[in-house]
Amino acid sequence: MATVLVTGIAGFIGFHLSRLLLQQGHSVIGIDAFTPYYDVTLKRRRAAILEEFAECRIHEVALEEAGALDRVAAEGEPQIVIHLAAQPGVRYSLAHPRAYIEANLVGTFNILEFARARRPQHLLVASTSSVYGANTKLPFDEGDPTDHPLTLYAATKKSCEVMAHSYSHLWGIPTTVFRFFTVYGPWGRPDMALFIFTERILQGLPIDIHNHGNMQRDFTYVDDLVEAVAELAHTAPPDPRGLEAATRPRDLDLSSDVAPFRIVNIGRSSPVGVMEFVDAIERCIGRPAARNLIPMQPGEVERTFASTERLHRIVPMRQSTPIEVGVRRFVDWYRCYYGV
């Protein structure tokens, strides 16, 4: 069993991942700033559940704060570091750009400096399918160009990937970057479509559907995603430098021939139309939605679709949760949590 440092532990994905790691018998040191981007009470409730585990310790600090990680590390040296903390949201970045520079770039820089000093066995850094930006080739493959991000959010996450590669190259830090594809499920963020649609349908209010519904997303159920991350955490990429040419990057599923570094998509690899997604929500709630069809919003893309061939070569195949099952689990959680 390992000691794992998880940043953004009270976030949607951080909560589910940390709970899984604790259930597997690992020790978890958590960091979260509990920022008010969305309901802090929801974050506190997640943290309280995790703190019921004896092997979980949570620190309320901001990664942008210089020296914060040194104080946290005094409790023990983590063998694995999983960096999830970030300022999320595509649309929020249009109005609050500075939050993304501070949380995503400065915060990630501090994590990289921590890894340089502490040399964990494996550093994992969360990225996003948004880095594929204007790419139109489907499915999105880890080797596709990501030089044309459409939002500042995507640009900062791409920058984090590049920064992580440089540290991996310079200091030999085994690093995995994983790109998430539209994660959903219980305890999800209130700014995400499933949460908003469920809330408004239950209240009898109309829902806004962008691009008149002509969109597809590679919806990925949160349990499937965190199981993949937990598997990846124990499979650090080797350093290709010094290896025989026949066993270098392509055979090792690396993303670099000068660093122990890989990029891995994590998605369901089965896009679903937004209208089909809304249909599933309606069936689970038991009432129709009043659909307000509106134009595409700035920074959005019509389709996301993950190639997961690399993921499935590195970790065992996992059964993907059907949309109807995942949506029903969220709706059941929502009704229970909010008493509706």
- Of all helices (H) and strands (E), which one includes residue 233? helix 222-233
Q: How crowded is the C-beta side of 6, counted as CA atoms within 13 Å?
A: 33
Task: Report d(CA 44, CA 31) in Å as an integer.
Answer: 13
Provide the edge-to-edge strand list for the sheet that holds 261-266. Answer: 56-60, 27-32, 3-7, 80-83, 122-128, 175-180, 261-266
One of 100, 153, 167, 221 is an active-site residue; which one? 153
Bridge pairing between strands 56-60 and 207-209 = unpaired
Contact in structure between 239 and 174 (CB atoms under 8 Å): yes
Per DSSP, 285 falls in state: H
Chain centroid to CA 158: 13
Interior angle at CA 145, CA 236 and CA 298, nearest 5: 110
- 3-state SS record for 51-83: CCCCCEEEEECCCCCCCHHHHHHCCCCCCEEEE
Looking at residue 23, its amino acid is Q
Bridge pairing between strands 27-32 and 183-184 = unpaired
Token pair, residue 330, equals 């969220």
153 is catalytic: yes
What are the beta bridge partners of residue 58? Answer: 30
- Catalytic residues, which ones? 153
